[in-house]
Structure 1
Amino acid sequence: MAEHQEQTTPNDVNESAEPARPTQEMVENNKRTGKKMLAFIAFMFLVAAASIPLYRIVCVAIDPGGSSWQNGETDSYEGVTVDKSRKVKVRFAAEVNRQLPWRFEPTEYSVTVHPGEKRLTKFVSENLDGARAIKGQAVYDINPPEAGQYFKKIECFCFTEQTLEPGEQVDMPLYFWFDPDMPDHIKEITLAYTFFNADTSRKRAGETAAITPGK
């Protein structure tokens, strides 16, 4: 009688086979990937921590004409000729950084002006924290960036830090005009203001500056 031979199935082979062990190369690749991820997370933390100071550094490097890396001083409205032959539509946008518990919005979302024409508009800010006064600082972006050099301000809440008492609501004026020398092809402009928590941004910027390589 022929000797019975036990047949093996693919499942039997898989169950008895020893699991593959990671090679040294795989281990090193995993380590490098982990280090890159940690470096990326640290970088993003520093970006968030810098807030206003970093925002201004980036703005002046990329677009010094169209962003308020430095909000400047008032402009003198003297000898300005209003160009009534054309109009410019100006849109307003308002945002609040998540670390600032404020409500902030424009009282009107767009206006139409002649180049050289003075225009007063207002934004409304409210401190939603009912327990403490909070200091905020606004920065702005202007689009198209080319219009930035023609944007003139007689009065603006962005010039100084603003302090709101608990639950306080205030109107913040923006009194502006655009230089009549602005190119004719600029017909629509967007002014976007963002409020940051001034105290938190200053503190985090100091902590970021104190970090040195190797620590």
Structure 2
Amino acid sequence: MPRENYQEQLDELRTDVVAMGDLVLDRYETALRAAETGDDDLADEVIGGDHVVNDRYLELEENCTELLALQQPVAGDLRLVAASFKIITDLERIGDLATNIAAYGGEEGGIHSAVDFRGLGDAAGEMVADAVAAYETSDPDACREIDVRDDDLDERCRRASESVVRELLEADRARAATNGTAEPEPDHLADALDDVSRALLAIRDLERVGDHAVNIAARTLFMIESDDELIY
């Protein structure tokens, strides 16, 4: 196979990975809106369309495998293919998380009053977008910045989880004082626990989206500089 065609394949692989990132981020944004609004149609769109991301992942996985088997790339080219293979795996998992997130909204929408759901969701999504952009442009500084931003996201998620639990406990104490009993009402407790459970799961999944952004940045940094500081 002519070497020019080989270089075209490498360029096309990078372009296709970026396009997969755009696809996943579009679905992720739809998932955030579905959770915010409780829109079942939007949720079904995300959940029912997960196969589109999976099919794209399998197609790019096959492209990476063919490049490795047929072209036997070395040095920088090998790192590009290896990084691309890892990155599409993270993107596919973000797509899976989007299907979870889409289903977390209550009947009237929203996650929990104690959670800045949109703020956390936007922060995690922006990290993914910037990580994919760093891969596209081979920007090592952006990769390291994403790792720093993840520390902030983790802390915000930790505080949000604490706020959800604290609000539940305080509401139960207030209700017990009003009713003159230490026992919560079973029906109300079940509803409250359901809200708390959905909120904690949503926070966990948003934090995981940020983790996948760091993985993308880590593999990109290794691709650019053979630097594994963000991988371990």
> Normalising by the residue count of structure 1, what TM-score does the alignment of the two structures yield?
0.25
Q: Which has the higher helix share?
A: 2
Q: Which has the larger radius of gyration?
A: 1
What TM-score, normalized to structure 2? 0.23
User: As a proportion of its length, which structure holds more strand?
Assistant: 1
